[in-house]
Amino acid sequence: MSGRRAFFHRTTGDKGYLIQVDGEDRIQYDRGPNVKESVRYNPAQWAPAEDERPLTPFQIGQLAYECDVAVCEIAGVGPRERKTWLMLRDGERAAFTANGPPKTDLMRRMMFESVQAFGRVFAK
């Protein structure tokens, strides 16, 4: 998607690109080639990308969530029936990105903190 200006949602961290549809500014989500969802551009909600590192903090949150799901399934800890990342409400995604799994679950916390360390290198 080169050539288009990247933006990030200020609350959810979703990445998108500014496009024009019938003369209206819209943000097309960057959620893979099969997702063509776009929303009306609102500058209060979307910030232009300033850093060209490949991942946003919320994408690191998604990675941490997916790792947490895998740890729960493989090790038999924590919840095993989970919503997918995109099925979570915006607030749930933001909360997991900021807080991760419970601090009392050592295995899940270590995975979360490992992904966060990775994110400090590769996220904006």
Q: How many residues does the chain have?
A: 124
How far is it, in rounded angstroms, from Cα 120 to Cα 48?
20
Classified as helix, coil or strand, 7 is strand
Predicted TM-score (pTM) above 0.75: no
- Indicate the helix (H) or strand (E) that contains 112: helix 106-122
pLDDT tens-digit readout, 106-120: 999 999 999 999 988
58's tokens: 């919320």
- Amino acid at the residue 87: M
Tell me the percentage of the chain whose pLDDT exceeds 70.
94
Domain limits of the chain? 6-48, 57-122
The confidence band for 57, taking pLDDT boundaries of 50, 70 and 90, is confident
Count Cβ atoms within 10 A of the Cβ of residue 105 and give its class: 0-12 exposed, 13-18 middle, 19 or more buried.
middle
Q: Give how far Cα 37 sits from Cα of 53, 56, 86, Å.
A: 24, 19, 13
d(Cα 70, Cα 53) in Å, to the nearest integer? 26
Q: Which residues on neighbouring strands pair with residue 55, listed in sequence order?
A: 123
* pLDDT of 20 over the 80 cut: yes
What is the band of 50 on the pLDDT scale with cuts at 50, 70, 90?
Answer: confident
Higher pLDDT, 65 or 81: 65
